[in-house]
Structures are given as structure tokens and as C-alpha cells.
């Protein structure tokens, strides 16, 4: 199976899971409406943007920034604004849930930790501090 076909298959699998977990929420419906016309280039841009944000967290972690420090808070704000601008209104409640999911779901942890071991846990801690 080609990488592109495998990615499409995985995206369909994740879409089904997302629909089952959050399909009855306001954020899900907003995301469906706002991203309905996204093509592969749009989704690639979203993916690249998220990767850049996570790489920023990894850099902060590597520089010894603590989760409650101003640079970490600003990075969480970037994440929150990115999600709001491109998919759905990212409330503190949703952001907090994402932070928990980044460490509870090994798929997210693995994807985020490609930027450096422990990055997902750092992002989660930054979000927790930000939302407190």
C-alpha cells in the first residue's frame, strides 16, 4: 500500500473515531462546517502548522522553560489560536481535554514525541498550567 493510500485509510479510521466520540458536540459540528471544503493542500497546511507548534514546544522544553513560564504560555496561546483559526473554537475546556489526550492516547504521544522524547508530556503540562 502506498504511503498516500495508507494515510487516507488512517484518516478515514480517525474520522470515524472522532465522529463516534464527539459527533454530537458543538465543536465537532463547527469543525465539520468549517473544514468541509478543505482539500489535501489545506490539510497538509494544518498538519505542517501543528508540527511547527509542537516543534516550538520541544524547543522550549530543550531550553529548560517550565510549563508555567511566559514563553510556554505564549506557545499554548499559539496552539489555541491555530485550532480556533483553522478548525473550531478552542475553549479552555477543549484545550484542557486535548492536553490530557496528548498523553493518554499513545498515537498522539508518539506523533508529538517525534519532536523529542517527552514533548507530549511537556505540552500537556503547559496546557494544564495555562488552563489553571
pLDDT digits 0-9 by tens, 58-97: 999 999 999 999 999 999 999 999 999 998 899 999 899 9
**Whole-Å CA distances, 43 to 18, 86, 89, 122, 130:** 16, 10, 18, 25, 27
Residue (of 50, 46, 68) closest to 122 by Cα position = 68
- Asked whether residue 75 is assigned to any structural domain, the reply reads yes
Give me the mean pLDDT over the 18-34 stretch.
Answer: 69
d(CA 56, CA 84): 18
- Asked whether residue 125 is assigned to any structural domain, the reply reads yes
- Asked whether residue 113 is assigned to any structural domain, the reply reads yes
pTM: 0.83
In percent, the amount of the chain with pLDDT more than 70 equals 81
Name the range with the highest mean pLDDT among 18-22, 37-41, 80-84. 80-84
Residue that has been written with the C-alpha cell 508529538 in this structure = 112
Of 28 and 41, which is predicted with more confidence? 41
- Asked whether residue 31 is assigned to any structural domain, the reply reads no
- Asked whether residue 82 is assigned to any structural domain, the reply reads yes
Give the total number of structural domains in the chain. Answer: 1
**Is residue 109 scored above 50 in pLDDT?**
yes
**Is residue 107 scored above 60 in pLDDT?**
yes
Amino acid at each position: 500500500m502506498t504511503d498516500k493510500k495508507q494515510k487516507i485509510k488512517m484518516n478515514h479510521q480517525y474520522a470515524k473515531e472522532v465522529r463516534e466520540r464527539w459527533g454530537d458536540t458543538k465543536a465537532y459540528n463547527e469543525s465539520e462546517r468549517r473544514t468541509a471544503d478543505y482539500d489535501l493542500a489545506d490539510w497538509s497546511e494544518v498538519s505542517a502548522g501543528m508540527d511547527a507548534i509542537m516543534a516550538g514546544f520541544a524547543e522550549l522544553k530543550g531550553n529548560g522553560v517550565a510549563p508555567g513560564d511566559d514563553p510556554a504560555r505564549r506557545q499554548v496561546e499559539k496552539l489555541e489560536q491555530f485550532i480556533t483559526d483553522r478548525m473550531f473554537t478552542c475553549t479552555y475546556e477543549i484545550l484542557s481535554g486535548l492536553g490530557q489526550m496528548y498523553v493518554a492516547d499513545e498515537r498522539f504521544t508518539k506523533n508529538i514525541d517525534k519532536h523529542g522524547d517527552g514533548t507530549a508530556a511537556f505540552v500537556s503540562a503547559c496546557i494544564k498550567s495555562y488552563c489553571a
